[in-house]
Structure 1
Amino acid sequence: MDPLTGEDPVRIGPFRLLGRLGSGGMGRVYLARSAGGRTVAVKVVHAQLAAQDEFRRRFAREVAALEKVGGAGTAPVLAADTEAESPWVAIGYVAGPSLRTVVGKEYGPLPAASVRALAVGLARALEHIHAAGLVHRDLKPANVLLTVDGPRIIDFGIARAVDTVTDGGLTGTGAVVGSPGFMAPEQVRGERVTSASDVFCLGSVLAYAATGRAPFGAAESGVHAVMFRIAHDEPDLAGLPAELDDLVRGCLAKDPAARPTAAHLAAHIEAADPWLPAGLLAQLGRMAARLLDEDGTPPHGAPAREGDAGQDGDVRQDGDEDAARDGDPARHGGGGADAAEGGSAGQGRGPAQDATASPGGDPAGGGDPAGGGDPTRNDGSRPRPRRGRRRLLPAGTVAAVAAAAAVAYGLVERHGTPDAPTGGSTAQDKPRNAVPATFLGAWEGVLRGTDTAPYETARIEIAQGAPGDKAGVYVHVGGERLCMGRSTLVSVDEDRIVFGESDVTTSVPAGRCTPAAHQKLTVRSPEVLEWSSGAATATFRRARSGPGVVPKEFLGHWKDVPNPDVSDPQQDLYSHEVIITQGPVGAPLVRFQQSYPRTDEETGEPLSGTVNCAETAVLGGAGGLLVLGPATVDTAASDRECTASGASTNLRIQRVQGKERLLVYGMDADGEPGEFSKEN
């Protein structure tokens, strides 16, 4: 990475620029950060080209392809403005080298087990691309990035919809569209390109990964000669391990109909775990950790320097989509993001992001960074329902949350690392217990607010494992959501560990969470860790863990304490109870039950009978307080008028006049707590 110069902007859209990743014929790519700490690559079209309608259409098509595909093994678009004076797009940055760099410069050919795992990862990504109705058309080693979690396909600059790809590998002017050493026969002949063409390119990529050579020769030997060999000759597979021969030759069949589909490959190839040699995995972990430390920009006008050694050597991540050359174009020019990630949205956002906020910036109008909501509902006391018909949440929500919690908790309880594969020698030297004992266990901290009045909290439970393992289970609770997931261990030192992007196992409400960003934890003492994720920082302290984390004083049945200052002749018609059971973090352990008089929805006049409601809340933290995510309605035990309160809460015990009282506080604003006494 090179520093910014005086001609570079400081920000593009909601993103703060950190440095230049590269510049090419079509645009410039910057490393940037969102307000929530997400590391992104921002590609900007050169102003002089933006004035040309054809370039604008091409760029808009690229962004549309990314938005359509964004998923497994590829990249979601975080933000874009294709109508700006200088159009731009922001995608998640992948802190990993290209396959071209790893094989051609740093490591050499990969072991057969790693090539098979590469084939599975790329086939799954292609399956996703093809399911979206697109053909990538430029799959080559420079457009494949290697990460701890698997490969990523980038650069959708020439991706096209299947039903529009009728020009094969040629443009209207006869220029080649694709990379000559990694094209399909029908592509070089100018015939119709289909998803089978991408599979042929996959075969060439796998041959390169296993042998270090393109199977039809390099472009340096002459573009036309290479293209002739692709169309007419058999591939040169000297040095290819015998166990890969059928796989590679099947992909390289001259007849598109004879090639397997990406879906077939993904379903029938057995991948090794870990997928890369231990030394290479460690290198990827160090690279991701260095990226997290990149937190500022040099002064404008600072002298340019050579490529940052902290990156992978592919400094030309430049957005140059001239497909006629078989070089190493924009590593992030047309895509490239960790598929497990979502857009960072909100200042100081914690390890999970709210999917409803604007990508890369604060929610419109400010408000609660943990997710918008009703700021007037702030007392945590489950106010009596307003008049009007209430919308119910799906009946299966509580069961789904409970199942997800059980899965997530199991990840921490067991060893946390998969068994070593039997087919690869590199797996045997992978350290199985890389995490220092200091880090093991559960840690919790407050991201916004204070220890006694938290508005947003985070928790991570760390199990033993090695880089590449899902060794962490995180929980993030904001004002109106709870997010839980598994985090991949990226790198380990004696006093610091780094987790990479995470997947989501639990989202309350459903669909409100996106994968957690990178998290870095540094030892301060045996009981204290400093946590950071981008610009967000917090102090984490040891917390309870295991199958029974709820302190015994919380357990039992609690009933609402009437307000002595309020006289209500119908007080006996109202009831509000809290039932707390034992279990692990991530399980629905707290139940709220309430009853109130039934009224006419239109007039508000009293009717006979009562409305009975029941809600269940997932435990998200068990440090100094019990932290709960938003409660969900138990529809089987609730009347149709019932609705969820929508707010996260925290619970604490306080002694009042010699008796224990349970206080229930809302986490979306300051306010008076609900007060409950233990039922005898």
Structure 2
Amino acid sequence: MEPLSAEDPVRIGPFRLLGRLGSGGMGRVYLARSAGGRTVAVKVVHAELAAQDEFRRRFAREVAALEKVGGAGTAPVLGSDTGAGAPWVAIAYVAGPPLRTVVGGEYGPLPPASVRSLAAGLAGALEHVHAAGLVHRDLKPANVLLTVDGPRIIDFGIARAVDTVTDGGLTSTGALVGSPGYMSPEQVRGERLTPASDVFCLGSVLVYAATGRPPFGAADSGVHATMFRIAHDEPDLTGLPAELDELVRGCLAKDPAARPTAAHLAAHVEAADPWLPAGLLAQLGRLAARLLDEDGGPDQEGPTARDGATGAEGSAARDGAATEGRTTGGDANGGDANGDAPTGPAAVAEPPGRPRPRPRRGRRRLVAGVVAVVAAAAVAVAYATAGHWDWPGRPGGGTTTAGDEQPGNVVPAAFLGAWEGVLKGTDTAPYETARIEITKGRPGDKAGVYVHVAGERLCMGRSTLVSADDDTIVFGESDVTTSVPAGRCTPAAHQKLTVRSPDVLQWSSGAASATFRRARSGPEAVPAALVGHWDDVPHPDVADPNQDLYSHEVIITQGPVGAPLVRFEQSFPLTDEETGEPLPGGDTVNCASTAVLGGAGTLLVVGPATPDTAASDRACSPSGASSNLRIQRVGGEDRLLLYGMDADGEPGEFSKEK
């Protein structure tokens, strides 16, 4: 939360302002107190929107509709003046973190019972919203707050009013209102939205809550690619617990008519009691108490108190100019589609000319974590002590330990380096592997580089450090840097690694867990014995008179993980489709492809090979599966064995060129 400036009002309506929570494309948001001491958030509309009569009329109608919702699963309206020079609305202050902060930060994906409870609570809230004639249009993890009593939906109402002063649901720049990773197919296509659109978005939110990833990828993989997947592809439900599959798939039906209504979900999805794990509930309670205490202060006003409407209108005009050129649509991973951004330290300083309350000890260490407010609601989330949540039972109790002399580094030296493990299969026959290379850093830094290799894809990216102590390191939000094939990867979810021995870490992400061991890293990650040219060894039990017409070579070069270090070259004759015999004339097909190195532990793991079109003929088939390579001693010489990671089968066998 930012302190009030000299131009900010000290009051808006009956509410005394405490500080500024954020500002964006629709207006400016203030934290305030009512005369009775209730904490509220007041949103003041920008002057350029307030000057448009049609916007004012729609805003007034929708504020009235929000009042009918009555705060059921939402933040209730506590006051408004839609006829003021700068229209405003006051909403109850919700002291709870966004779902995005909890799942994308230190806690990670929620257990299935909590996800079902989340579904029931959000469906109940949407039922009331839809009954009031509203469509939320931007339901996403950043707009869902978690409280002790259940989830709350924020940030809706204004987006619909904007439609009447723009072009059929588009902004003046032609951008859709909403967040690409959490849109519905009809929203992507720019069609008229119904309550069914919110149900689709609810399904996407539930997938994120259960897995830590959006079902259609995030905007960092390309906004247009994400929107195409929403409209045409099936959701990626990797890691979704089986008991949630039917619920989620129903919400994510492409046909709006095939989706359940919010009322149906509210009536048929049973919530657990308690609805969240005990440790998380306890932390939410402590956070709420801490926030309410932080926002307090004596009601002191000097002789320079300013009129709320006039001052707010001026600040709205300035903010509107400052945000000109902003892209509407938001961050698919949770940034506010309307530009209301997170703010900084939560200490409230009084503007010049106003008495400044004496600060309490320890307040400067509280940090406002997330603010996501657009006319219908607001929230400020504080992080305790070192910038992360002090989860009960976490080793170290919230303290951090410096890994070395680097200023601000919190990663212990024991974690530095590369670690690899098998997620599916065994150490000698893996079907899915993961790797993370940890560097020095502070909370918020991209201090982890991960690689995930499955049967038909390789995903690589960077993960944000959340916290680290002597025993545990936690990574939160990630972005994708490499996807093979292109567009197939979604960002890695929350990851937690715990020390078991100097060379072994226990890795977990949601319900998945694995044992990670130290692995090679750096510019020479490939074992020297594997580097070189390897030729196919004919199968000893197969006699083929045309064997000399076929060749298969594997070329392995030295380099780091993440580089295309393995090349496959093949040549074979054109054959008769019926007999399989080479055609007369000796025409030969030449094919080449390369694969990215994804692991350098006990095995060399590579992703799916990508065809080298410049060195390949048209008759070549695209390569498909990831593979792992190892050396085995056969008859006194080294043999390279190549196993596919998509199915069981005999390995390819290669001997090294002399």
TM-score by length of 2: 0.49
TM-score by length of 1: 0.47
